Amino acid sequence: MNGKALLVLSDGIVFEGKSFGAEGETIGEVVFNTSMTGYQEILTDPSYKGQIVTMTYPQIGNYGTNEEDIESLNGPKAEGFVVKEYIDFPGNWRSTSSLGRYLRDNGIVCIERIDTRALTGYLRTNGAQMGIISSVYLDPESLLKKVRAHPGISAFDLVKEVTTKEKYEWGEGIWKWQHPNPEVRSQNSEVRSLANPPLPPFTKGG
């Protein structure tokens, strides 16, 4: 069972929840994202380097993760992840790993079971600020000292940490929608649904 974790903002606000992902401690600028899907793309988006991302959608992890939806090399770029409820039993035919396992494998410290909409409302009113997530040291006062000692993300050149070392050409084809059974294109939905095999609805074009 996941243990206790704390999220402490630099102004002293403390949120208590449960740990998932990697055990440990992480510091970053706490921001939010209101997307209903795409958490893997968000985590691997280079623009989130140096930041702890809060998802406002209440259930995260429903469809797991896969290797094709990674937005950049070398795994997640976000420093940490905050969700209301982590779902550890993904249900999607494209899934190759649960979100929790993916985050553990990449060393990303996360917290769940907090009111992410209250946190988002607070950030909207007071602005993004530095925060710390910890699942190993649970003393709010010591965590507050650590996050206040951090110089902030503006003190670092984060671009050089996420940009490619060498230029390259994009060669992957466009993903194309395809009918699961091209031979069955009847307007009769009942016939079509009975005839469709459980095949992927798209293919990578050339």
Would you kindly state where each structural domain of the chain is located, as residue ranges? 4-162, 175-204
The reported pLDDT for the residue numbered 164 is 87
User: Confidence band (pLDDT; 50, 70, 90) for 73?
Assistant: confident
163 versus 17: the higher-pLDDT residue is: 17
Show the DSSP H helices in 26-165 as ranges.
Answer: 39-43, 99-105, 116-126, 140-149, 159-162
- pTM for the model stands at 0.85
Burial of 204 (0-12, 13-18, 19+ CB in 10 A): exposed
The reported pLDDT for the residue numbered 176 is 72
Burial of 117 (0-12, 13-18, 19+ CB in 10 A): middle
Side chain identity at residue 36, one-letter code? M
pLDDT tens digits, residue range 183-205? 544 455 544 444 444 455 666 65
The reported pLDDT for the residue numbered 180 is 57
Q: Which residues on neighbouring strands pair with residue 65, listed in sequence order?
A: 97
Which residues, other chains included, contact 181 with Cβ-Cβ below 8 Å and sequence gap of 6+? 192, 195, 196, 197, 199
Rounded (5°) CA angle 4-9-12: 100
What separation in angstroms does the CA of 146 have from each of 25, 117, 131, 133?
11, 25, 9, 11
Task: Tell me the average pLDDT across 58-75.
Answer: 93
Per the prediction, the chain carries an average pLDDT of 88
pLDDT tens digits, residue range 30-40? 999 999 999 99
Choose the CATH number for 4-162 among 3.40.50.300, 3.50.30.20, 3.40.1350.10, 3.40.50.620: 3.50.30.20
